[in-house]
Amino acid sequence: MSKSNGNLKLMPKVDLHVHLDGSVLPETLIELAKLGGPELPEREPEKLWPYMRVEGECDSLAQYLEKFAFVLAYMQSGQALERVAYELVRQSAEHGCRYVEARYAPQLHREKGMSVEATIDCVLRGLSAGEKEFGVIARCIVICLRGHSRERNLEVVRAASAYYGRGVVAVDLAGSEAHYPPELYESEFRMARRLGLPITIHAGEAAGADSVGKAVTLLGASRVGHGVRMQEDPDVTELIRVRGIPLEMCPFSNMQTKAALGWEKYPLRAYFDTGIRVTVNTDNLTVSGTTITKEYEALREHLAFTDEELCAIAMNGAKAAFLEEETKRTFVSKFAEELKDWLGEAVN
């Protein structure tokens, strides 16, 4: 029974960790460049890939992050944000996602004077149009950035609160984890908690287990982005397991940034086997050159996951969604039914 080999593209999935600016299609970038921004170095989509996608592994997270600077110059208008958000929902739908949480950092899209709120309005408009068109439930996570001032991050937290329940579902902290430890952002996330905002934190990617522990105990994260290097400390691993904190793991990205040095060092299988709530996500469709289907295929290929186990991971994702409670209840039960149907067809 467990030897099934279902079509993973058709398997119902969710994507809880995917960045807007890491998921811009090259053909879209050409269109966006017509609206403004510096002249593109190439005019054909295929030739733009090297500027937008990591080729093989990169040396570090820092090098991975460089790919974002390239596209950000063309994402400074409401029109651009709306389009990229809409197309992200389309890309998710094409790979069987039933639910997607798209994230982005409002402060990186203000070069031409947009307010934080205006950027959120445009992203939500794109997500909502995509939701209607493609039948994928789409929500937004707004990101505070390591290295940004308290004032700028608080601005993001306040805006998130104003849009909470209207499309925004949580706040995040991203950026150079190795240089900016969690304790620098205590007051921002204290404010987020006071405002009742769910919190997810990028941790255990470019820094060790301590960063994961503090994301939870100090900043109040109820989900953790990546958590790969948590494996360096059994105590932190146990804390995450006992508290039932879902990990938003992104296998291809985690290999590329060298959060894990190869599949044999990748802790996803061990985490899953010890009962940690592992979820699988894409991080960046374009920068990582991935799809949610490819991520699940890699689990099957490199970590010997059976289809039943892959369904359990997808279900972990649905249950970990920051979706509004009532909508979530309906969504999760429908999702469970769809998974059962898929598995039934995969086995027969």
Catalytic residue ranges: 205
- Using the minimum distance from each CB to Zn ion, give the nearer residue, 82 or 283: 283
- Binding part of the chain for Zn ion, among 79-87, 132-140, 149-157, 278-286 by CB under 5 A, reads 278-286
Q: State how far the Cα of 342 lies from the Cα of 336, in Å rounded to an integer.
A: 10
Smallest separation (angstroms) from Zn ion to the CB of 223: 12
- Using the minimum distance from each CB to Zn ion, give the nearer residue, 131 or 172: 172
281: helix, coil or strand?
A: coil
- Using the minimum distance from each CB to Zn ion, give the nearer residue, 119 or 257: 257
- Binding part of the chain for Zn ion, among 52-60, 140-148, 151-159, 275-283 by CB under 5 A, reads 275-283
Number of residues in contact with Zn ion, rule: CB under 5 A?
A: 1
What is the end-to-end Cα distance of the chain in Å, rounded? 9
Smallest separation (angstroms) from Zn ion to the CB of 250: 7
Smallest separation (angstroms) from Zn ion to the CB of 283: 5
Binding mask 234-273 for Zn ion (x = CB under 5 A): ----------------------------------------
Sequential DSSP letters for 53-114: S--S--S-HHHHHHHHHHHHTT--SHHHHHHHHHHHHHHHHHTTEEEEEEEE-GGGG-TT--
- Using the minimum distance from each CB to Zn ion, give the nearer residue, 8 or 259: 259
- Using the minimum distance from each CB to Zn ion, give the nearer residue, 283 or 295: 283
- Binding part of the chain for Zn ion, among 28-36, 122-130, 161-169, 283-291 by CB under 5 A, reads 283-291
Tokens, residue 70: 């390239």
Q: State how far the Cα of 5 lies from the Cα of 1, in Å rounded to an integer.
A: 10
Smallest separation (angstroms) from Zn ion to the CB of 108: 13
Q: State how far the Cα of 134 lies from the Cα of 91, in Å rounded to an integer.
A: 10
- Interface residues for Zn ion in 130-149 (CB under 5 A)? none
Sequential DSSP letters for 174-226: ES-TTTS-GGGGHHHHHHHHHTT--EEEEESSSS-HHHHHHHHHTT--SEEEE
Cα radius of gyration rounded to whole Å, the chain: 19
- Binding part of the chain for Zn ion, among 276-284, 294-302, 318-326, 333-341 by CB under 5 A, reads 276-284
Binding site for Zn ion (CB under 5 A): 283
